[in-house]
Structure 1
Amino acid sequence: MAAMNTANGMCGLVWINGVNFKNLREAGNAYGPWADIVPNSVNFDFESTAIKYDKGVPTEGYEFPYNTAQSVFIWSGAPEAQPLSVNEIKRWLENEGKGKFAYANVTDFTGSLFVRTIFHALAGGAEVFTSPLTANAAMEARYMQKSPAVWQFLNDIKPYLYQDPATGGAIYPQTHAEVQQLMWSNLTLLDCAYDVNLAGRQIDLGNLPPHTVAYVLEGQPGTIANTNYVAIPINAQSRAASMAVGNFIGSLEAMFTRNEPEGWGALQSYNPKVPHIEGAGWNTAFNYLENHVSPAYPSVEKLAEFRLGELHSTYVERIEADWHTFVGFA
């Protein structure tokens, strides 16, 4: 963005999240706050960590939610018997679930996802680690205080993970495809993925039994989500028009259209507990769309209630490195 060009930019609204938003804000090139004051902001919970923080960066009204992705656990075991918290996962593994779960090495996105879910449960999320880890003595001290419980948990469950038939030791597959293959072969019963539709697709393909469900952890801590947003550049020529478009994006009608499986099929981050949404039957409509895709899909109410925001990338990098040090190679 050209220096001092604050009025005649070529772009009125940008689709953005993560490091791009961080850079836009730090450079002073984002207009706002506006997102939490336009009329359709009432359709969202701006205090939810999945909206309040964009990968650990406070949004502070400079970003308006667009679509979201949310992680889920996938269970193909006995109906209604799935573990609903990280502690229940541990108890299940130590008993009837021994050898029935595997997660990938953290070099795989879903392996990192599982480890970060444990981190959220035992150390905390963006509401605890409120600023980047790098060059921050207070956050470094907090990380060093809280992270050992995570490595202890992961080492505690290591003997109960799926074991390599050749060596008898726990294995950490290199890809999620390898983890899925174990589940398709009925060697494991539990998986996690950043795709709420994955279980339904695999049921349709005959890879998983019909009673398989995708679900969120309800007891501890929830499941991690990744929201994307729209933002207004500081040099937007008509900020009022940009806000009007952003406000339209947040309308229930626009969100429903984006959620339709025949179109985008994108998960929406609206707040299903808002009275004007709940009372008008919108949750029923959104759930109809998802159940039309697959009955294995969790309800929009459950997804929203247990949705967690991502940590800042500096924590993700450190968590992955420390997993190799304290768990993977320990």
Structure 2
Amino acid sequence: MTKMMNNNKSTTHSSLLILFSFLLLSPCVFAQLTPNFYKVSCPNAEKIVKQVVKEEFAKDPTITAGLLRMHFHDCFVRGCDASILINSTSNKPSEKTAGPNLTVRGYELIDEAKRRLEAACPSKVSCADIITLATRDSVILAGGPNYAVPTGRRDGLVSNPDEVDLPGPSQSVTSASETFIAKGMTLNEMVVLLGAHTVGFAHCNFFSNRLSNFQGTGQPDPAMDPVLVTKLKTLCAAGSNPKVFLDQNTSNVFDNEFYRQIRLKRGVLKIDQELASDAASSRLVSTLASNPVQFSRSFGNAMTKMGRIGALVGKAGEIRKNCAAFNPRPKIYISSILGDVEKITE
């Protein structure tokens, strides 16, 4: 009898291992992102997101920069799974609390889009897809390319601030490119994606070291145009850590002006300026500065590719009811290696 019970426990344990392995592997094997994923389940999904973005853009054209940053920060931590949207709880911090994400914005737009989508078709459209679609729609409104956004992403089940490790504004081209390459992107795609800075801005604390005491020299960064140094010193002294546009010319227009600016030594962030001087990236910068069509096409392609990083599909993850919180879900507790399985609801 004891032998039979042990055999039953062993069989149960083996079955659980097989089941868990299948659940982990099968979504990525059998499902892919696809154009117009919500054609049947929520036909107006993309129109609803577009309308919300249109309303916000009319009030604040800088939302394009906010959404681009949110999308990038989301996709480069665990993949494009909306983990960046989760609020912290009293006993569990989320990605929002990590240093690089403290100035991420656009959460209210995503929440409003989700509210309208839940009213139209409950539990059908993922928060991860909302971020991706909203970013594309805001780029278009700012004058940028209309690029492909295949959908079908699902929302992640983990948001851990300790996993947030993103390239910073003071890194070298080589150092930053290592992060992109680790995510399956190329150096050239990094150069193209940083073109999003054409509608971006940065607070003075991110570049103030370039204005007066660069690398302990007591002098401004020689790679920055002296006229720009003077202008930025004045701007930064005028308030409490004010923001400065990274494209000093067409600040709210999504165009290739950013590349022209950095070729004139008018890059505000160190990483931006180094794109124009590093041998690995300078030739592409020159090409993009003179060819707006190539920039638009290359940027769209790079954004489509970035949007696939680590995407959860099929049965993986979940479709959140509230983008800022995980759905209440069952937990499985195994009392011992060969013990019974107890299922309770959180």
Radius of gyration: which is bigger? 2
Q: Which has the higher strand share?
A: 1
TM, length-normalised to structure 2: 0.26
Q: Which has the higher helix share?
A: 2
Query: Higher relative contact order by CA 8 Å / sep ≥ 6: 1 or 2?
Result: 1
TM, length-normalised to structure 1: 0.27
